[in-house]
Amino acid sequence: MNEYYPKNGRVILHIDMNSFFASVEIADHPELKGKPIAIAGDPKERKGVIVTCSYEAREYGVKTTMPVWEAKKLCPHLLIIQPHHDRYREASRDFFSILHQITPLVEPVSIDEGYVDITEEHHLGSPVQISKFIQQRIFSELSLPCSIGIAPNKFLAKMASDMKKPMGITILRKRDVANKLWPLPILDMHGIGKKTAEKLQSIHIFTIRDLAHANDIQLKQLLGIRGIQLKERANGIDARPVDPESINITKSIGRSRTFPEDIIEDHVIDVVLQNLAKETSLRLKRKGYLTANIMITIRYHNRKTITRSRKLHRPIQETEELFYEARSLFIQHWNGNPVRLLGVTGSDLVEEQQANEQLDLFTYEEIAKKEPLYKTISQLRDKFGENVIQTGRAIKQTSAKNKKK
């Protein structure tokens, strides 16, 4: 059995539940099996957004984020189901409970996927045998399908689990990278979203092979240190261990500003918070993260400093959202005294790709509706300046000053 386990390396599994929310609905309602179904926030609302769908629905071209009316047009007999979030959480707990019975080295990534390090589990059989056991047990106990990738590191395991769905088991070794991964479009690589792909394409990187052979200096100029990390992944290199505690690690990205003199005017504070939110947003995007927790720092004229934070309903990244949350916290906790320093920080960071995969069902439609608004506001501010769109309070302050003149 030792021949299946390297002396100096790891054997890592990535378990990915197939069409998780739809599969849970089918498990609870067997009469739905074999039918095209989709989960959307409000089945009666034709402007709703598809959050996930069954494989039968996908055969008609139905996709995640597609408007319900468009999905219905492609598949007139598509069954739209309102989400049952508590039930999905329960199924997720049961899924991870099974994994923890195999080994304590389980790292949850989102509600429906996780990594498992089986390097020390020789006694349970070969990696394929262990994978089949996990897959069959999840299906027999929970009636839920999953795909499993087997590889020497997390990145390759994730790529492998995407190769055969549903109910697939795929082995991906480093020696397979050139043949199996390099020909793929850059957008098919885990960790690369649409925006990053567009940036890479601007320097003629269209496939994973292109990225694997890209110029380090050019990548660093374009994406910072993340560009080098992505190149390593494209070459099958990933030293990250499976870390059961990683979900509890708090990372943070933020900006603060100390003023040459105390400020107290509302409209000045609004402008500062807006700029801090913008700088924080740019840093989050540059590093490929969203934040699930917003924190503000206020230092008063007497050097007394307070920090206050708020857990968010979903991870965010855009300037307007960061500004809204930071400003709300500031209004709630500011005592009205002159301020010498302000800071805006995002913590509990989530990787961009991961955040897109685990968006909360109940906020998905809200995000989809607001996305064009945030984009438009950002474009207007870039073109005409920060004050082209102001908050109601800032406008009132300006009007009051004009009256005094």
Answer yes or no: is 266 a known binding residue: no
Q: In what order do the strands lie in the sheet with 252-263?
A: 252-263, 339-351, 289-300, 305-316
Answer yes or no: is 112 a known binding residue: yes
Cis peptide before 166 (omega within 30 of 0): yes
The amino acid occupying position 156 is L
Q: Please report which helix (H) or strand (E) contains residue 257, including its range.
A: strand 252-263
Catalytic residues: 113
Burial (CB count within 10 angstroms: exposed 0-12, middle 13-18, buried 19+), residue 377 = middle
Q: Which residue has the tokens 């499993």?
A: 148
What's the CA gap between 106 and 128, in Å, rounded?
Answer: 18
Report how far apart, in Å, the C-alpha atoms of 14 and of each of 134, 235, 298, 358, 382 are: 11, 19, 43, 16, 41
CA 63 to chain centre: 18
Q: Report CA Rg, the chain.
A: 24
Angle value at C-alpha 40, between 351 and 315, nearest 5 degrees: 20
Q: Which residues contact 56 (CB under 8 A, 6 or more apart)?
A: 34, 35, 36, 37
Q: Residue 165 in contact with residue 18, Cβ under 8 Å?
A: yes
The amino acid occupying position 135 is Q
| Local structure of residue 240 (DSSP, 8 states) | P
- By residue count, the chain amounts to 405
Annotation: binding site = 16, 112
Annotated binding site for Mg(2+): 16, 112
